[in-house]
Amino acid sequence: MKKYTFFRWSCALATLLLGMTLPTACGDDDPPSPPTEVARIAYYVKGVVTDLEGQPLQGIDMKVMEDFQNQFGYQLLSSPVQTNEAGEYQTEVVNDATIHDGLVLVAEDPKGIYLPDTLDLTGLQRVQVNIGDDFRDQGRWELTGNVRLRTK
């Protein structure tokens, strides 16, 4: 008789404990699952390229690239644009999920007089120039990246 009573009490305790944990594990309080669509932003980089003395450099190729940490090399994200006579440039608009580590601005002199330089986009000043329509469209951003090149 005592074994039967102990068994009943242990079953009752197990039922009580399971009844307390199951509603919280399967209840409506679970956080919502993340959206299946990825938010996108559009950005471009603008700035001025000069030499070390502060003189503007014309004809320098500027482009946005993604660095895969030497696993796959660089991937071009925007076609090269050249600086004007005042050394100013503005890259094409890049559409991406985020401005993340590995995105760089590359400055190269096609004449070979100046050494190339690379700027990390995550460290550049950002200004939102256009508000997006919804979650999927996070608007357009302007990044400013001024570059000073050294001669070879």
The CA distance from 122 to 125, in Å, is 8
Could you read off the pLDDT of 109-149 as tens digits, one per residue? 999 999 999 998 888 888 888 877 766 667 788 889 999 99
Tokens of 23: 């509603």
The CA distance from 87 to 145, in Å, is 12
One-letter amino acid of 20: M
Domains of the chain by residue range: 1-30, 40-149
Could you read off the pLDDT of 67-87 as tens digits, one per residue? 766 555 677 788 899 999 999
Say which CATH class 40-149 falls into: mainly beta
Considering only CA atoms, which of 142, 151, 140, 116 is closest in space to residue 47?
142
Place of tokens 């039922």: 15
Place of tokens 């074994």: 3
Mean of all residue pLDDT scores within the chain: 77
The CA distance from 101 to 86, in Å, is 30
Q: What is the pTM assigned to this prediction?
A: 0.67
Contact status, residue 151 vs residue 113, Cβ threshold 8 Å:
yes
